[in-house]
Structure 1
Amino acid sequence: MESAVRKLFERYERFFNRSLGGDMDTDEIASLYASDFIAASPAGVMTGKNDDRLKQVMAQGYAHYRAIGTKEMRIRQIRLSEIDELHCVAHVAWTATYARKDQPDTAIDFDVHYLVQTLDGGPKVFGWVSGDEQALLRKHGIV
């Protein structure tokens, strides 16, 4: 399971960076997710479906990331906590790099904890838990 989950997040990183560059394929990105998912952050808990609405929200999200100067997202580390033979939590440490006018680029480290299920079609993200992204961006003067 570990190798397959690592490959899933390597794909995620590639798709994310291509999308930041304007080469976005929402079908490819949606292929990383299960048919339904749950997300938790300080903003609350939400559920969703992997459908056209998700693709629309992703397109808006990447447009926002480009607008605030996000240049790149890189994985620093992946640590897995196995739940059973089909499920794990992937603790992914990311570094986001932001372009700043008249200032050096700003790199921000953060972690997201992804719930992953591995079935016949391979691993898929069915949930995630993240910190307060907006507070972190404000702290670093990005927004």
Structure 2
Amino acid sequence: MNKSKIKAFFAEYERRFNDSLAGKPLDVNAMTADFAEYIVGSGPTGVMGGKNDETYRQMIRGNEDRYRKIGAKYMKVTNIEVTELDDLHAAAKVYWDSGYNKNGELITIGFYVIYILTFVNNDIKIFAFISGDEEKVLKEHGLVVEEKS
């Protein structure tokens, strides 16, 4: 396991995300190439999983559009803690600093995501991730409106 290669992987992931937020065309091929053929995610709404296919590509496009609409200006990796699981797997706890424009004011939010990585053919692929309650935090900062039922 090469920790510097993992850090370089997430630096590229960050760069592509920020390019999209800045209005550059989203490189969906590169974004989906960061993920394994099947991805599992766990968060406050439960566990989900799916193939890295056209549906996943559409979800990535939708997420990027949503971030821009709610005023996202940047996502910056501030730290990465890597835990080797075995010769072919690692967990990377990636700390992010995110900035949003809300009525001309910069709102910053720190968070982390745990990514579970596999190393196949010397490539790094994300096959699982664990995230916190992003929706709750965005609502607390007034970046998204709570839906009334």
Bin the TM-score by the shorter chain. over 0.9
Report runs of 4+ in structure 1 exceeding 4 Å deviation: none
Quick one: distance in 1 between partners of 2:3 and 2:124? 10
Cα distance per residue 1:43-99 (max 9 Å; x no partner): 110001111111111001100000000000000100101100110100000011001
- Percent of aligned pairs with the same amino acid: 35
| Amino acid aligned to 1:82 | E
Matched residue SS, 2:40: strand
* TM-score in terms of structure 1 length: 0.96
Matched residue SS, 1:6: helix
Unmatched 5+ stretches in structure 2: 145-149
Aligned-pair CA distance for 1:121: 4.3
Say if 1:4 and 1:122, in contact at 8 Å, map to a contact too: no
Match of 2:33 in 1: 31
| Amino acid aligned to 1:2 | K
Cα distance per residue 1:103-125 (max 9 Å; x no partner): x2011000100000011141110
Quick one: distance in 2 between partners of 1:4 and 1:125? 14
Aligned-pair CA distance for 1:21: 2.1
The CA RMSD measured in Å over matched residues stands at 1.0
Match of 1:84 in 2: 86
Match of 1:75 in 2: 77
